[in-house]
Amino acid sequence: MNSKIFNASPLLTWFVIISVMAVFLGVITILVINIFYKPVGGNEVLRYFNQDFLRESSEYHKISLTISLASKMISLFFMVAVLFISWKYFSKTPRVPIFMALAYITLFYVILQLILLPLSYYRGFIVEHSFGLSNQTLSMWLLDFIKSWAISFVISTGALTGIYALMIYLPKHWWQVSSAVFIIFIIIGTYLYPIIIDPLFYKFEKLEDSKLKSQIIDISKKAGIEIDEVLIADASRRTSKANAYFTGIGNSKRIVIFDNLLNKFTGQETVAVIAHEIGHWHYKHIIKSIVLGSAFGVLAIFLLRVMLGKAGLVGDFRAILLIILLMSTLSFITMPVQNTISRFFEKQADEFALKLTEDSETQVLLTVKLANSNLSNVCPHPLIKTLLYSHPSTMERIKQAEQFSP
């Protein structure tokens, strides 16, 4: 990247160059490993999974990851190209009206999404159907895709336009206000997500199985936690995958389990899943995630403030294009740290579930069935796991359960 573009700040020039190159080399490294790595199918793995499953799972994840990496590279090249073009275009009129800035940001995201749409369709619809993991019609997939993109689009354009307005009207304090709004948004978003966003994709019903409800109440009492709600999501309309998750804070917190889980798994296995989610609750993982996410966001905004201030770009529309590129690269570069923390949280929840149920055998059976249901990569390459995996691998979770002693 030519230093003349950022001749006001060599620091900013080199930061952009290093960030872009780090992402480029990271993606290439992952792609090479992904293409040539053959999962280990030793006796330990073959105790639980047959060769046909391992081959199918490996193929599914290779295709999925390759498409994701291709999307990342296309996005990166597009951002860099737009930055080069805009630097010259806005050089004479670097400050534009706020509504015009919103229009440019909107155009940027619309064009980028149109470029990525074929890959999104192939990954989200064709590949999922090819491996028997999707039950969606094309119209259902398209509607979900539009809703997901619209949510992301509104948040991104609103945030960037807001930052630009703050740079113009509060040039000395834009970063403090942005940081405060970011923290408030994370807290409110976490609270509202299960109330507003989740219902856009799933219909929810309260758990009616009296026997299972009784088991869940008993195990939650044992953990010293009162569960407000256990909801069933109608996920089977979309996917054959089984899943469960803990979401929300305050009076919006609830445990959600896919109806696939109830239909395909035993009561004991479902209780083991709930015990895992109670573990997240017990260790306050959502609160900790909010704190860590807020800290990372504030640090990133402060870093931008320093660099943009030195480059004299505060209030310059080109700063917004730089922010898009830098936040995208920083997100990728810091992914290993984020995923390491996430895997630690998941391991804690697994360990808590084992202590709560005192049933390692069911935990092993559950882990195996979930892997089969979701076509999980049971033994990913260590580097790919470190960089990309937010959960411990299937074999790690099985080993943890096998080594557990009440």
53, 374 in Cβ contact below 8 A? no
Question: Residue 299 carries which side chain, given as an amino acid letter?
Answer: L
What integer pLDDT is reported at residue 1 of this predicted model?
Answer: 45
Between the alpha carbon of residue 169 and those of residues 46, 200, 306, the distances in Å are 63, 36, 18
Between the alpha carbon of residue 10 and those of residues 3, 4, 7, 13, 311, the distances in Å are 7, 9, 6, 5, 8
Between the alpha carbon of residue 194 and those of residues 111, 156, 233, 245, the distances in Å are 30, 20, 12, 11
Residue 280: partners with Cβ closer than 8 Å, 6 or more residues away: 246, 286, 345, 349
What integer pLDDT is reported at residue 3 of this predicted model?
Answer: 43
Question: Residue 160 carries which side chain, given as an amino acid letter?
Answer: L
d(CA 274, CA 131): 28
Identify the segments of the chain with pLDDT beneath 70.
Answer: 1-9, 40-41, 228
For β-strands 254-258 and 230-233, DSSP reports them as parallel
What integer pLDDT is reported at residue 343 of this predicted model?
Answer: 97
pLDDT tens readout for residues 108-145: 999 999 999 999 999 999 999 999 999 999 999 999 99
What integer pLDDT is reported at residue 4 of this predicted model?
Answer: 47
Widest Cα–Cα separation across the chain: 71
120, 145 in Cβ contact below 8 A? yes
pLDDT tens readout for residues 320-352: 999 999 999 999 999 999 999 999 999 999 999
What integer pLDDT is reported at residue 37 of this predicted model?
Answer: 84
194, 254 in Cβ contact below 8 A? yes
